[in-house]
Amino acid sequence: MPEVNLQHIDKIYDGGVQAVYDFNLDVADGEFIVLVGPSGCGKSTTLRMVAGLEDITNGKLLIDGKDCTRLPPKDRDIAMVFQNYALYGHMTIYENMAFSLTLRKENKEVIHRKVMAAAEILDLKSQLNKKPKQLSGGQRQRVAMGRAIVRNPKVFLFDEPLSNLDAKLRGSMRREILLLHKKLNATMMYVTHDQTEALTLADRIVCMSMGHVQQIGKPIDLYERPANTFVATFIGLPPMNMFEGEIRGGKFESELFSYPLNAKQKETLKDYEGKGVIMGVRPENIVRGGSVKLTVTNNENLGMNTLVHGKIGGKKIVVCKFAEWCGYKPDDVIDIGFDAEMTHFFELPDGDTPGKAIR
């Protein structure tokens, strides 16, 4: 039985603004789901609906088989970790972690055992007598997680928990959350706009845009087989290079270059002869030594690789990622080509609807 079922969930605010459209998701027991997307895409709203902090306009929410659509948050057996930690400043860390259990009038020994177990997991034992203001951002976030752990909920919800931390701390906290998930084997739903967090943490990613689910799948699926142009450009850093053109005579013809298709691509694109399509190539799938001329505008050496920004035909900005240390100067012209196995083709977008992948 799936731990969390979201069935045809809609969220329409009082003013008539719709934030989430027909959201469907089955989260399995012990699964780590990450909702990712740009600001305003409806990911936090969806999480808040699961938590019960937002009403569900249409649809059904089941947690462990129980209909929780109209259930108040306290009866859903979920725990939420917020971006701003939401700790009580006048309480010690111990009291903060024990607070929810104290409210439930649990036995003091039970509370103590749970708090100490959570503190052990999160390496907070030496901080228990301190106040939140005496802790670093990362430690505060661990306390917020500890407060969720002691409740032993059915589902953990994380709403951008690492957004307030600096990049280095974010990396270490990311690893801690992953370890925590392995230790607890709990069902977790995690909201972020950071694709690195999504790719590294998730068992499955839900990619959202403008209230719509764009793709649900394993991180590798979203990266290697994006469902549409939105997912293709949102997942991956730097984003995928997109070229608009059309299929003509076994070639992808754009106004900037002509790219001969291989047999497999010809077969896939046979129904698109004479039609407009988009070709997508990730920066790391651009190779040196092809037939396309790139005029370098910027060369960024990152140590283990080099990002080369340039223009094709003086118009289209392209980013290439080369594994070597490169020393190009602005206005250098280099020959590039595309790894045929790693090129993607999409239909043209239809208004706000991103172009679907052609497979």
| Binding to another protein in span 42-101, by CB under 8 A | 92, 94-95
In whole angstroms, how close is the CB of 120 to another protein at the nearest point?
Answer: 8
In whole angstroms, how close is the CB of 87 to another protein at the nearest point?
Answer: 16
112 is a contact residue toward another protein (CB under 8 A):
yes
183 is a contact residue toward another protein (CB under 8 A):
no
Other beta carbons within 10 angstroms of residue 75's beta carbon come to 10
Out of 68, 124, 128, 269, which residue is the one contacting another protein (CB under 8 A)? 128
Q: Which residues contact 158 (CB under 8 A, 6 or more apart)?
A: 80, 81, 177, 188, 189, 190, 191
- Do 60 and 8 form a contact (C-beta atoms < 8 A)? yes
List the one residue out of 46, 74, 39 whose CA is nearest residue 61: 46
**Cα-based angle 277, 283, 284 (whole degrees, multiple of 5):** 120
List the one residue out of 142, 132, 24 whose CA is nearest residue 81: 142
- How far apart CA 145 and CA 150 sit, in angstroms, is 9
Out of 106, 176, 224, 284, which residue is the one contacting another protein (CB under 8 A)? 106
Out of 66, 74, 113, 183, which residue is the one contacting another protein (CB under 8 A)? 113
108 is a contact residue toward another protein (CB under 8 A):
yes
Out of 14, 17, 89, 105, which residue is the one contacting another protein (CB under 8 A)? 105
Out of 28, 86, 110, 178, which residue is the one contacting another protein (CB under 8 A)? 110
Q: Which residues contact 298 (CB under 8 A, 6 or more apart)?
A: 307, 308, 309, 310, 330
Out of 129, 136, 291, 353, which residue is the one contacting another protein (CB under 8 A)? 129
Q: 228 pairs with which residues across the strands? A: 356
Out of 70, 74, 90, 104, which residue is the one contacting another protein (CB under 8 A)? 104
Report the interface residues with another protein, using CB under 8 A.
92, 94-95, 104-110, 112-113, 115-117, 128-129
